[in-house]
A and B are shown apart, each in its own frame.
Chain A
Amino acid sequence: MAKRIDVSGLSAFYGTTKAIEDISMTVEPRSVTAFIGPSGCGKSTFLRTLNRMHEVIPGARVEGKVMLDDENLYGSNVDPVAVRRSVGMVFQRPNPFPTMSIYDNVVAGLKLAGVKKKSVLDGVVEKSLKGANLWNEVKDRLNKPGAGLSGGQQQRLCIARAIAVEPQVLLMDEPCSALDPISTLAIEDLIGELKTQYTIVIVTHNMQQAARVSDRTAFFNLAGVGQPGKLIELDDTQRIFSNPSVQATEDYISGRFG
């Protein structure tokens, strides 16, 4: 099910400000690709262009191509709603729907798409929650509100919700930045399991995390304040952290570690 993402010549704008410029890269299927870089370098913006979430902000637009296998996400007849169903997303802060139960949160996407059969939904809930390593913790209280869970559990609930619609790609925007270390560890383990089925892209500001979970790492940077962010280099994670080919990458990584 996992698909390859091929980006070429992509720029994104907020109104007249260019946030990222001319990015081209390939994201391999069934692997974890991490985006790192200083704040404001456009890594989150770039992530959001991969499932057309960028454009929900008023005045935001995108130029360039994003190919999901052989389909351009920005093609003329492409429905952004369908794109988002194929490319799921997990956000920085856990955001289960506050008015819904755990069960309803997981099946929210399916219900929207018109799947109504109870037996199907039940199956999906169990499978997704198991997939998100949450099943054992919540199976007895599926009808309780999702907002009652701990932060880490909420984030795993959001992952379960995202994988319930069986996406081909899973985007994660700093999924652990609002969590404590133990919950972070649980999510990182989960990412390791999920990559056997999904193409995963994760934005993180935590370089140890990038080193721990990802197979490949992309480093973004910006030339100065007000300048658009650019992709500096993309390589195997090990190479990036041990022997990057660009000086800026090394500076950033060593600066952070030092």
Chain B
Amino acid sequence: MTSSPPATSQGRAGRSRRDSRFGDKVFFNFSRGAGILLLVIMAAIAGFLAYRSALALGKNEGNFLTTFEWTPDGVKPVFGIAVLAFGTLVSALIAMLIAVPVAVGIALFISHYAPRRIAQPFAYLVDLLAAVPSIVYGLWGVLFLVPHMDGLTSWLNEYLGWTYIFDQTKNGAPARNLFTVGILLAIMVLPIITAVTREVFRQVPRMHEEAALALGATRWEMIRTAVLPFGRPGIISASMLGLGRALGETIAVAIVLSSNSQLSLHLLDPGGGTFAQNIALKFNESQPFGRDALMASGLVLFVITLLVNGAARMIIARRKEYSGANA
């Protein structure tokens, strides 16, 4: 079915045959056009953002990479992504540190531990939660999670304050900090990481699990010998998908974080910012030049997520050599 319809000699071709060949050509070009359009969109995103960024970067009086402030519309336009890059990476890192192990645990729970009566509905529930809009997570984060974080933050401050990063210098401020953002992001990306990981765990051939059990492996040993090695690429790519989401999350962060232009390693102090959050907060009130500057930060974010997602897909693709009917 890969070949095009048999070419008929011109002489014998009746009207309907010519029509069908014409129809085939039109249809093929339409569908190929749609595919090409996708590539064009991706290229255009990069192109437009790069063009607008270039306009802004040319007039930037600060260093784009190391400047803390974001005042592109000032008398002297100065803007840099140091704070944003730091905040984006740190909050995403915290999210990953929490979400990946928990998601692997939940995936194992669904695929190997839970009684069947619980596993199915619970898997379903997790999928549904992946659809909860981020604005709702944001609202819940600031009105519910932040007040509930107080105890935990003062605890971390008390017992782990010596690590510097958990040292709270502004006591009593609401926990609208990068640490809370990280936890919220962890909760947000949990469903997607769980869903992908769970699918991979489900594909572990039963015979490999039984091989381990028949050798006298406990359930955990069976998982370690048969399930986890088989699922490792899946876990990695699922994590990177989650990471991509965490890096690009906008509105939840914009609501929860009380931002400022300070780069502080004290994760429990309010402040910091992320690429996406900064754009959402500043965009509507910026002058055209300020918007170009925001485009530059958007371009950086775009490239980062592109790399992360691309890497994730390459890892998946390496083992996805099965496909349905059309192989």
Contact = CB atoms under 8 A, between A and B. Distances in A.
Interface of A: 51, 53, 56, 58-59, 81-85, 88-89, 91, 93, 95-100, 108-109, 112-113, 158, 161-162, 165
A112 B115 CA distance: 26
Interface of B: 115-116, 205, 207-218, 221, 225-226, 229-230
8 closest Cβ contacts across the A-B interface? A85-B216, A109-B215, A99-B229, A89-B214, A95-B207, A84-B216, A95-B211, A112-B221
Contact of A81 (B115, B211, B218): B218
Given A58-B116, A91-B207, A108-B225, A98 B215 contact: no
A109 B229 contact: no
Contact of B213 (A53, A59, A158): A53
Given A83-B216, A91-B211, 12 more contacts: A51-B214, A88-B214, A89-B214, A93-B207, A95-B207, A95-B208, A95-B210, A97-B211, A98-B208, A99-B230, A109-B217, A165-B216
Name the residue in A56, A58, A96 with the highest tally of chain B Cβ atoms < 10 Å from its Cβ. A56
Contacts of B225: 97, 108, 112
Nearest to A85: B216
A53 B214 contact: yes
A163 B71 CA distance: 73
A112 B217 contact: yes
B229 A81 contact: no
B216 A162 contact: no
B210 A82 contact: no
A50 to B, nearest CB: 11
Contacts of A59: 116
Contacts of B226: 97
B216 A108 contact: no
Give the residue among A58, A95, A99 with the most B Cβ atoms within 10 A. Answer: A95
Contacts of B211: 91, 95-97, 158, 161
Contacts of B209: 56
10 contacts: A59-B116, A81-B216, A83-B216, A95-B205, A97-B212, A97-B225, A100-B229, A109-B217, A112-B215, A162-B215
Contacts of A97: 208, 211-212, 225-226, 229
A30 to B, nearest CB: 21
Given A95-B207, A98-B208, A109 B230 contact: no
